[in-house]
Structure 1
Amino acid sequence: MNKLWLLLWLSILACSSQASVESVQAQLKQKYPNLRIDNIQQTEMSGIYSASLDNQIVYIGENAEYILVGSMLRLKDQRNLTKDLVMKQQHIDWKKLPLQDAIKTVKGNGRRQIAVFSDPNCPYCKQLENQLNQLTNVTIYTFIYPIRNQSIQASKQIWCQPNPAFAWHNLIQKGIVPQTIAACPNPIERNLQLGQKLGVEGTPTLFFSNGFKAVGMQTAPQIEALWKEFGM
């Protein structure tokens, strides 16, 4: 397998010539018009470009004939450049999040912060909620994000309850539907627009206070491990 990878890299480099992001894009469009590849960028390695394909980092030769999936490591300091690229592409500006549109839950001293986009009818969101309950010293901002049509009305009703946080936890953890009350101004439509802007395509999706995005159900140990890695 290692020999195969080496041969692929050498074949890409052998075809290297003067190129640019624009020329690689043009070749891809001409040769493979149905292949959606985004975020094409030059890398530190001559003749190799990074890109996004199906939400993962891939590498393309400048002749647009080969794609490789894996990590690019810089030998002089053993830095994982692919990991850096993932962090950069999935990074948001935490300070720009409209936290007033989220349900706020404080546990312990609330020092660590995390934002969660969650649909009340999402089974993985319910599993995540159980994991979030195991965390300590955290402030959780829950953006109700009803990507399922049947979730929209319940989401609005949750926000209009006297205690939205209590209503949310009753619904997501116990399946207790909120009491029907008069409609009130709510952020549900804004949350849907915000999620689309941030590239939230499914629930649950988590954002850490350093801007890192994590997609899918995360266990409490996984979240703790990420906090440790981020120095939080």
Structure 2
Amino acid sequence: MLKKLLLALCIGGLSLSACAAENDAAPIAAPAVTPAAQQMVRQAIHSLAANVQVDSIEPAPMPGFYQVIAAGQLLYVSTDGKYAMHGDVIDLSRKQNVSDDAWARFRKAELAKVPASERIVFAPPNPKYTVTVFTDVNCGFCRALHEHVAAFNKAGIAVEYLAWPREGVVTTAGRPTPTYTEMVSVWCAKDRKAAFTAAKEGRAPAPAACANPVKDEFELGVKLGVSGTPSIYGPDGRMLGGYVTPEQLLQALKQGG
């Protein structure tokens, strides 16, 4: 579904970037997202890929467009439904990527819906910062990142892991992927943190099954635009990178205020 949407955008020549320049004229008010406007935007998106889920429709930061998040992509759809753009919008007056702002708001809101009970948390007593990390227990960079977890905590950073098996949830044959099965066993372990760390060290957990959030967290990652692991998000929803050292992560968090 996601690939179909991207392919349609690329083939159709709709992949563009746009810039908003500062001038003396009063800004043109963004169009309200009425029920009719929402229906029009959804129809425009579904004309590219019929089954794509549209997660967010807002007024765009430039006139004449709506800002849309769908299938892990941020798009701009014209208010008449005739045009779409896929790319970044730069506010030249602020020298800031407003597309990143939109993603950050969306991710922050969606991540806030995940309860602490569904995360695997490594945190100091009084953290200064909290990051969310989509992770795969078998990826090399994820394992390298977890080796620093004590140092992250020492720096005042709480690390909250969500499951994102890179192989996906099911194979093309419809069977659970090996990594998904292993991550379910981790999330269903009596001591999740111990099982998680053991898996990161190459020691597979004892098989276990229970009601678990692994599939939901994988789908959430796709919705938020995750395409690889580790993917680290700050408390404001900003993407902070993949593998980083404690020093690099602390610096990125400080820059974000």
TM-score normalised by L of structure 1 = 0.63
User: 1:55-79 CA distances to partner (integer Å, 9 max, x unpaired)?
Assistant: 443434445246362323163x555
User: 1:178-225 CA distances to partner (integer Å, 9 max, x unpaired)?
Assistant: 4x48x5x755x2232244246366543444334x16387231355324
| Counterpart pick for 2:100 among 68, 71, 83 | 83
- The aligned counterpart of 2:129 is 112
Q: Distance in 1 between matches of 2:189 and 2:79?
A: 57
Tell me, yes or no, if the aligned pair for 1:119 and 1:144 is still in contact at 8 Å: yes
In structure 2, list runs of 5 or more residues that go unmatched. Answer: 1-15, 22-35, 170-176
Alignment pair present for 1:72 and 2:90: yes
**AA partner of residue 150 (structure 1):** P
| Counterpart pick for 1:192 among 215, 219, 222 | 215
Q: Distance in 2 between matches of 1:91 and 1:155?
A: 24
Secondary structure at the aligned position of 2:109 is classed as coil
Secondary structure at the aligned position of 2:161 is classed as strand
The structure with the larger Rg is 1
In structure 1, list runs of 5 or more residues that go unmatched. Answer: 10-18
Alignment pair present for 1:209 and 2:235: yes
Matches within 5 A, 1:162-177: 163-172=191-200, 174-177=201-204
Tell me, yes or no, if the aligned pair for 1:108 and 1:138 is still in contact at 8 Å: no
Q: Distance in 1 between matches of 2:108 and 2:122?
A: 23
- The aligned counterpart of 2:156 is 137
Matches within 5 A, 1:1-232: 20=37, 22-23=39-40, 25-26=42-43, 32=48, 38=54, 39-52=56-69, 55-62=72-79, 64-65=82-83, 67=85, 69-73=87-91, 75=93, 80-92=97-109, 96-107=113-124, 109-135=126-152, 136-146=155-165, 147=168, 149-158=177-186, 163-172=191-200, 174-178=201-205, 180=206, 183=208, 186=210, 189-197=212-220, 199=223, 203-210=229-236, 212=237, 214=239, 217-220=242-245, 221-231=247-257
Secondary structure at the aligned position of 2:89 is classed as coil
Q: How much does 1:228 deviate?
A: 1.5
**AA partner of residue 100 (structure 1):** S
Q: Distance in 1 between matches of 2:45 and 2:112?
A: 37
Q: Distance in 1 between matches of 2:53 and 2:89?
A: 18
Number of residues paired by the alignment? 209
Tell me, yes or no, if the aligned pair for 1:115 and 1:143 is still in contact at 8 Å: yes
User: 1:54–1:108: structure 2 CA closer, same or farther, 3 Å change rule?
Assistant: same
CA RMSD of aligned residues (A): 4.2
User: 1:206–1:120: structure 2 CA closer, same or farther, 3 Å change rule?
Assistant: same
Q: Distance in 2 between matches of 1:106 and 1:53?
A: 33
Q: How much does 1:137 deviate?
A: 1.4
